[in-house]
């Protein structure tokens, strides 16, 4: 992994799903819709002054969203934030931002 660059794409873990779940309401608010299915499939991690998580999420009906979630450094005591996202993605689409 190059310094500052994102990691390779990895299968989602329980931690990844937890991060996705924590920003789900932010996405639903921005998209003005509810997602009945919200399953993290894969992710990349990028260490910055905190951590960026790029997460591919299955939202049902063969549709996916790509989330970019920022996790501040622990001492900042700030919540996770959905910094950007891409909708209308498919299973084979590469996680890029």
Query: How far, in Å, CA of 87 to CA of 65, rounded?
Result: 5
Q: Model-level pTM? A: 0.92
Instruction: Return the pLDDT at 97.
Output: 74
Share of the chain above pLDDT 70, in %: 97
What is the CATH number that goes with domain 10-89? 3.10.450
Question: Hey, CA dihedral for 14, 27, 43, 49, is it positive or negative?
Answer: negative
Q: Please report, to the nearest 10 degrees, the dihedral formed by the alpha carbons of residues 73, 15, 27, 69 taken in order.
A: 30
- If pLDDT is split at 50, 70 and 90, which confidence band does 54 have? very high
Instruction: Spell out the domain ranges in the chain.
Output: 10-89
Copy the structure tokens of residue 74. 């622990």
Predicted pLDDT of residue 1: 44
Of 64, 53, 55, nearest to 91 by C-alpha is: 64
Cβ proximity of 12 and 43 under 8 Å: yes
């Amino acid at each position: 992994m190059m310094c500052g660059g994102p990691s390779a794409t990895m299968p989602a873990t329980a931690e990844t799903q937890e991060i996705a779940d924590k920003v789900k309401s932010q996405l639903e608010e921005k998209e003005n819709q509810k997602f009945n299915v919200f399953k993290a499939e894969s992710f990349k991690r990028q260490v910055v002054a905190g951590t960026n998580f790029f997460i591919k999420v299955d939202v049902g009906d063969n549709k996916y969203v790509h989330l970019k979630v920022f996790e501040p450094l622990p001492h900042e005591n700030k919540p996770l934030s959905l910094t950007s996202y891409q909708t209308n993605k498919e299973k084979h689409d590469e996680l890029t931002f």
